[in-house]
Amino acid sequence: MSRILVFGGHGRIALLLAPLLVAHGDEVTAVIRNPAHADEVAATGATPVVSDVETADAATLASLIAGHDAVVWSAGAGGGDPRRTYAVDRDAAIRSMEAAASAEVRRYVMVSWIGSAADHGVDPESSFFAYADAKWAADAHLAHTDLDWTILGPGTLTFDPPTGLIQVDESGRGSVARADVAAVIARTLAEPATIGKTIRFGNGLDGTPAPIAEALRG
């Protein structure tokens, strides 16, 4: 059994992730901003904890992380306001990495996006630019820490049924069911071969997708 802390615990992927981890025998703590979401999160088997990551300092985040075995960052501002996007997707994410190191919790899984790269190519005038820029900054910071990190870059998210299959896609294309993303996160936490890797994936564009466990061992 592992103790897993999930930031962004009321997100659509996190709500699918928690039951998978609980079924595996893990203990899940889900950090949420809105206390009205606590019952829905608790129904997944996770323990909800209310904290606003946008305003929480590193010491506060470290107190949340302490005692866990791994951190999953699945929080996000949800687009819209560029200021808040940078505050959550970049600044709060980076504080959580510093907090994990301070709390001596080394395993850290970042849920990013398939196009996260220095040359992501998003037009600065686009409403998507702040997200692309913030996520890349957070990913780049994580990759230079001493944490046992994995960066997961799913393609365009869909509500399709889970397939249990993914294709690692370094070209940054493709789409993937949210349920498969949740399964990828759960498997990543249990797969040491993913440490220190950025894994971009979808349900398959070219070639043949593979079972998630096989694809992650790659």
Q: Is the dihedral of CA 129, 133, 138, 143 positive or negative?
A: positive
Residue 97 lies in domain? 3-217
What's the whole-model pTM score?
A: 0.95
List pLDDT tens digits, range 9-65. Answer: 999 999 999 999 999 999 999 999 999 999 999 999 999 999 999 999 999 999 999
* Residue 210, CA distances (Å) to 17, 122, 164, 173, 194 in order: 20, 30, 8, 17, 16
Structurally, the chain folds into a number of domains equal to 1
Which pLDDT score, from 0 to 100, does residue 173 have?
67
Which pLDDT score, from 0 to 100, does residue 207 have?
66
Q: Are 98 and 58 a contacting pair, CB within 8 Å?
A: yes
Residue by residue, what is the 3-state secondary structure of 40-101? Answer: HHHCCCCEEEECCCCCCCHHHHHHHHCCCCEEEECCCCCCCCHHHHHHHHHHHHHHHHHHHH
Domain of residue 129, CATH code: 3.40.50.720
- Number of neighbouring beta carbons within 10 Å of residue 13: 21
- Burial class for 37, CB neighbours closer than 10 Å (0-12, 13-18, 19+): middle
Which pLDDT score, from 0 to 100, does residue 172 have?
59
Counting as low any pLDDT under 70, the low residues of the chain are 170-173, 205-207
